[in-house]
Chains A and B, each alone.
Chain A
Amino acid sequence: MTNYDAIVVGAGHNGLTNAAYLARAGLKVLVLERMPWIGGAAVSREIEKGWMYSNCSYVCSLLRPELFRDLELARHGLQVVPYGGGVTITRTGDVLGNYTDEDVQRREFARHNPRDGDAYHRYSTDVIRQCKFIRPLLLRTPPDPTSFKPRDIRELIYLGREFTKFGEQFIYDTLRFYTMSIADFLGEYFESDLIKAHLSGSGIIGSAMGVYSPGTAYVLLHHYMGDVDGSIGAWGFARGGMGAVSNAIASAYKSFGGEIVTDAPVERVIVRNGRVAGVATANGNEYRAKIVVSNLDPKRTFTKLFDEGDLNPEFVKRARNFKIRGSSGKLNIALDGLPEFPALGRDNPLRFGDIHFLDSLEKMERAYDDWKNGTWSKEPYLDLLIPSMTDPTMTPPGKHFMSVFVQYVPPKIHGRDWTDQDRDGFKNTVLDQIGRYSPNFKSLIRHVEVRTPRELEDEVGLTEGNIFQGELTMDQLLFNRPFPGYAQYRGPVKGFYMCGSGTHPGGGVMAAPGANAAREILLDLKRPSLVPEGWQDD
């Protein structure tokens, strides 16, 4: 048995970030990971020989640049390359593209609806305003609105001041924005159904909600609030796949003297005299530490790692009722060549970005209806990318890797567990859809890795396969994430902390939850905080 100052359960990118800051502060830190590899949902694995897959997450924008810089991730091998393009292709072969030049984008929208072309400006101004508001909050611990501690009051005053910067109207707008549906929100700007459908995808990715469900407007913001080199809303590829993010953080962590043990599933958090004493793994090892940090989602953390009898019933109820519904799946496809999309013609730069096959909001909602009915969408929403067009390190020359994020995919099929047969049915639904828009696609397929919520839960440990470790709705955001009263990364037992995407500011490859949790732990240990403040922008 070995003694540590702190043990982090789970080597997801947030667990690693948390561990890195604790180790940098001089603590003796151990990370225990259940799988033989690290990274959680930010992982790259060579499944087909010569092909590096981004098995789960596939694009990068949310990763806080403050942390990227502070942990010197570039020196540890991370490079994020922005990509342009992105296009929606309709059933009739019409296209709606994304362009980085504002005027070109306006013209593209105007081609479908002249007024919408002009409205695009107003739309982006309003969305950017919301981004400017939320971005400085990402690297801050949410204040507890019921507390009278000077620090909470200071933070509440800060929040209030941020609000006034954008004017009175902004308070109304924000409350509406956080609770309205993406369809209603887009309806305040656009007339064209295709434009609305094109923009609505970001409102439902990772959520068990449809485009008409209240709360989906915020989900869009969650996908816009990141940046690549200051370009807000831009996305990029991590060279070498998303595992490169976790690997770079792990390398920084190790450079501070940190230790990682893989193949070490933690079975139980040891609680003694009302405070944590260490952890026990499934293979019979015990590790001691006065601080234990969980990178797992809150539901799994408190219903699986704890003896529920050690927790009070109110808390157990919150953990059990935590909203973490599976809604997504993914196909990772090794290709022997580049698929052609006749609607785009040859060499169209739009194909470097996300490709969608959509026509209307109605089609998006029908896809959600299937989920509610307990089956995968018959006409799913796909977010399809071919990262190997930008990143040559992913495949052998001339070959390609296609990442296909799919929505909606339920955690159970009509209330029962997924079977292999269901999984094949789901796979074929997706391949058939792509095949309808790309005639040579199917002939290029070499290998397909299929992830339904079942695989995501089994391999990454995400409850129900929910990609964000918990729905991003108002009842589970900011000081309500994961539970009211527990948003400051401290658990219900002394010495226990949470650092995963289930905490503020939520899911995505962001590293902010891990860093924020480290700040709180160091505060409790009365050590100087090494975690950088978020950059401010007046």
Chain B
Amino acid sequence: MRHKDHFKTAVYQTPFHPRTSFDLTPMTKHRITGKDALPFLNRLITRDIAKIKPGRVGYCVWCDDNGQVIDDGTVFHLREGDYRLCSQERQLDWLTRSAHGFDVKIVEDTHEVAALALQGPTSCAVLKAIGCTGAEKLKPFDIAYFPFADGELMVSRTGFTGDLGYELWIDPARALELWDALFDKGGNHGIRPMGTHALEVARIEAGFIQAQVDFLPADQAIRIDRSRSPFELDLGRLVDFSKPNFNGRRALLEERRRGSRYRLVRLDIEGNKPARSAYIYDSKRNVVGTVTSAEWSPSAKSNIALASMHMPWGRPGDELWAEIYYQRELKWSRVMARCRVVEGAFFDPPRRRATPAADF
């Protein structure tokens, strides 16, 4: 994909400032039920799933025995003991193998649920416009059910952007009706479909990582040093050692003792040329890391990137340089750009968390 640079800001800013919808149907979904659903998930996932009450959603990662991340995703506690696990990569094989000894039922129902992301400042207003009365009361990571047509619409205040946003879940038979309702009633609120590139910009602004881009799923790594642990992806907060047992616990304890090999950082890079796939150098021109994702951020008006750094580099204040190649009218040029390690998301408006949610 190659765009004329000066249009980029304009094109990508429009879609998500008003509010946007993105088709999530292809995302892999698993329904996990049965007596042992909770102990199973607690064994699978590094964080404490017991803390995710019915009607709540949690972001999580799961690891192999070596403490390397297989994938990240979200656990939906739909109703007491009834869970949905969503991820980018396909997991039925791993979930089934991890379920030995648990009384659980695992069904991949990716194609039995239609899902749509509705993200942006006016997203709550659109929801209310289609009849989701009280949607503004949903706190981040809440789930609620609303009557829709002659069925039920599930709404979660979740998303892959750093803005106010929701994900809508419905029986595929009613999906078109939902789409039409959103676009009928949402017109005044500026609803527009969003493409993958816009989503890519939004998720990097939020600082979210993506499988196959910022990390290689451990079960797909051919070479030993290509996978990453949760600590190496800046997701140490999702590892709960107070749980007596979960996949990868022993290896992760060992890693905490011995130290990690890598660190994931957010970089603000001088200039305006996206540092895609750039090498990161220290002041002595040694390669100390690589950029995994990079975009111009229309929201923060910054040149942002996620990078995987060799330890110990990537501390705030480290002198780092990105080697950026860029093309103008078929001519390639190279710049060395200074990088600053940023803590937290690049774009994190208060409306993202405010409850009740505002109309715009």
In the complex, the chain A residue whose C-beta lies closest to that of B217 is A121
Rounded to whole Å, the gap between the CB of B237 and the closest CB of chain A is 27
Docked CA distance A538–B94 (Å): 28
Docked CA distance A160–B52 (Å): 47
Q: A119-B93, A122-B93 are in contact. Are A114 and B222 (CB under 8 A)?
A: no
In the complex, the chain B residue whose C-beta lies closest to that of A119 is B93
B93 to chain A: which residues have CB within 8 Å? 115-116, 118-119, 121-122, 189
A125 and B90 form a contact (CB under 8 A) = no
A sample of 19 more A-B contacts (CB under 8 A), given A164-B224, A169-B66, is A106-B90, A114-B108, A115-B93, A117-B92, A118-B94, A121-B93, A121-B219, A121-B220, A122-B219, A122-B220, A125-B219, A125-B221, A128-B222, A129-B222, A132-B222, A166-B223, A166-B224, A167-B224, A170-B224
Q: A106-B90, A114-B92 are in contact. Are A125 and B108 (CB under 8 A)?
A: no
Docked CA distance A122–B219 (Å): 6
Rounded to whole Å, the gap between the CB of A424 and the closest CB of chain B is 47
In the complex, the chain A residue whose C-beta lies closest to that of B91 is A118
Instruction: Describe A's contact surface by its main secondary structure.
Output: helix
Q: Which of A150-178 contact B (CB under 8 A)?
A: 164-167, 169-170
Q: How many residues of A contact B (CB 8 A)?
A: 21
Docked CA distance A118–B87 (Å): 13
B96 on the interface (CB 8 Å rule)? yes
B223-235 interface bits toward A, Cβ cutoff 8 Å, 1 = contact, 0 = none: 1100000000000
Rounded to whole Å, the gap between the CB of B10 and the closest CB of chain A is 34
What are the 8 closest A-B residue pairs judged by CB atoms, nearest first? A167-B224, A118-B93, A119-B93, A118-B90, A118-B92, A129-B222, A115-B92, A125-B220
B221 to chain A: which residues have CB within 8 Å? 125
Rounded to whole Å, the gap between the CB of A164 and the closest CB of chain B is 8
Rounded to whole Å, the gap between the CB of B99 and the closest CB of chain A is 11
Rounded to whole Å, the gap between the CB of B133 and the closest CB of chain A is 38
B96 to chain A: which residues have CB within 8 Å? 115
Q: A114-B108, A115-B96 are in contact. Are A121 and B90 (CB under 8 A)?
A: yes
Q: Which of B8-44 contact A (CB under 8 A)?
A: none
Q: Which of B117-165 contact A (CB under 8 A)?
A: none
A167 to chain B: which residues have CB within 8 Å? 224
A189 to chain B: which residues have CB within 8 Å? 93
Docked CA distance A106–B91 (Å): 12
B224 to chain A: which residues have CB within 8 Å? 164-167, 170
Docked CA distance A336–B223 (Å): 50
B220 and A117 form a contact (CB under 8 A) = no
Rounded to whole Å, the gap between the CB of B31 and the closest CB of chain A is 13
B220 to chain A: which residues have CB within 8 Å? 121-122, 125
Docked CA distance A115–B91 (Å): 9
In the complex, the chain B residue whose C-beta lies closest to that of A132 is B222
B222 and A166 form a contact (CB under 8 A) = yes
Rounded to whole Å, the gap between the CB of B160 and the closest CB of chain A is 21
Docked CA distance A169–B108 (Å): 30
B40-51 interface bits toward A, Cβ cutoff 8 Å, 1 = contact, 0 = none: 000000000000
Docked CA distance A170–B222 (Å): 10
In the complex, the chain B residue whose C-beta lies closest to that of A126 is B222
Rounded to whole Å, the gap between the CB of A127 and the closest CB of chain B is 10
Docked CA distance A132–B224 (Å): 13
Rounded to whole Å, the gap between the CB of B107 and the closest CB of chain A is 9
Rounded to whole Å, the gap between the CB of B60 and the closest CB of chain A is 19
B219 to chain A: which residues have CB within 8 Å? 121-122, 125
A120-160 interface bits toward B, Cβ cutoff 8 Å, 1 = contact, 0 = none: 01100100110010000000000000000000000000000
Docked CA distance A166–B90 (Å): 23
Docked CA distance A198–B108 (Å): 24
Docked CA distance A165–B224 (Å): 6
Residue contacts A-B, CB under 8 angstroms, 30 given: A106-B90, A114-B92, A114-B108, A115-B93, A116-B93, A117-B90, A117-B92, A118-B90, A118-B92, A118-B93, A119-B93, A121-B90, A121-B93, A121-B219, A122-B93, A122-B220, A125-B219, A125-B220, A125-B221, A128-B222, A129-B222, A132-B223, A164-B224, A165-B223, A165-B224, A166-B223, A166-B224, A167-B224, A189-B93, A538-B223
B92 to chain A: which residues have CB within 8 Å? 114-115, 117-118
A170 to chain B: which residues have CB within 8 Å? 224
Rounded to whole Å, the gap between the CB of B219 and the closest CB of chain A is 5
A165 to chain B: which residues have CB within 8 Å? 223-224
Docked CA distance A122–B222 (Å): 10
Docked CA distance A187–B222 (Å): 20
A164 to chain B: which residues have CB within 8 Å? 224
Docked CA distance A128–B226 (Å): 15
A125 to chain B: which residues have CB within 8 Å? 219-222
Docked CA distance A106–B28 (Å): 13
A117 to chain B: which residues have CB within 8 Å? 90, 92
Docked CA distance A125–B221 (Å): 7
In the complex, the chain B residue whose C-beta lies closest to that of A133 is B222
In the complex, the chain A residue whose C-beta lies closest to that of B28 is A118
Rounded to whole Å, the gap between the CB of A129 and the closest CB of chain B is 5
Docked CA distance A187–B213 (Å): 31
Rounded to whole Å, the gap between the CB of B323 and the closest CB of chain A is 20
Docked CA distance A189–B93 (Å): 8
Rounded to whole Å, the gap between the CB of A110 and the closest CB of chain B is 9
In the complex, the chain B residue whose C-beta lies closest to that of A189 is B93
A166 to chain B: which residues have CB within 8 Å? 222-224
B69-111 interface bits toward A, Cβ cutoff 8 Å, 1 = contact, 0 = none: 0000000000000000000001111101000000000001000
In the complex, the chain B residue whose C-beta lies closest to that of A170 is B224
In the complex, the chain A residue whose C-beta lies closest to that of B90 is A118
In the complex, the chain B residue whose C-beta lies closest to that of A113 is B92
A119 to chain B: which residues have CB within 8 Å? 93
A115 to chain B: which residues have CB within 8 Å? 92-93, 96
B90 to chain A: which residues have CB within 8 Å? 106, 117-118, 121
In the complex, the chain B residue whose C-beta lies closest to that of A166 is B224
B222 to chain A: which residues have CB within 8 Å? 125, 128-129, 132, 166
A118 to chain B: which residues have CB within 8 Å? 90-94
Q: Which of A193-224 contact B (CB under 8 A)?
A: none
In the complex, the chain B residue whose C-beta lies closest to that of A164 is B224
In the complex, the chain B residue whose C-beta lies closest to that of A122 is B219
B223 to chain A: which residues have CB within 8 Å? 132, 165-166, 538
Docked CA distance A106–B93 (Å): 12
| Residue in A115, A122, A125, A165 whose Cβ sees the most chain B Cβ within 10 Å | A115
A122 to chain B: which residues have CB within 8 Å? 93-94, 219-220
B203-220 interface bits toward A, Cβ cutoff 8 Å, 1 = contact, 0 = none: 000000000000000011
Q: Which of A76-129 contact B (CB under 8 A)?
A: 106, 114-119, 121-122, 125, 128-129
Q: Which of B269-288 contact A (CB under 8 A)?
A: none
Rounded to whole Å, the gap between the CB of A232 and the closest CB of chain B is 11
Docked CA distance A116–B92 (Å): 9
| Residue in A118, A164, A170 whose Cβ sees the most chain B Cβ within 10 Å | A118
Docked CA distance A170–B224 (Å): 9
A169 to chain B: which residues have CB within 8 Å? 66
Docked CA distance A33–B195 (Å): 65
A121 to chain B: which residues have CB within 8 Å? 90, 93, 219-220
Docked CA distance A164–B224 (Å): 8
Rounded to whole Å, the gap between the CB of A133 and the closest CB of chain B is 10
| Residue in B93, B94, B108, B221 whose Cβ sees the most chain A Cβ within 10 Å | B93
Docked CA distance A117–B110 (Å): 14
Rounded to whole Å, the gap between the CB of B51 and the closest CB of chain A is 28
Docked CA distance A538–B223 (Å): 9
Rounded to whole Å, the gap between the CB of B23 and the closest CB of chain A is 17
In the complex, the chain A residue whose C-beta lies closest to that of B65 is A169
Rounded to whole Å, the gap between the CB of B229 and the closest CB of chain A is 14
Docked CA distance A119–B222 (Å): 15
Docked CA distance A290–B220 (Å): 52
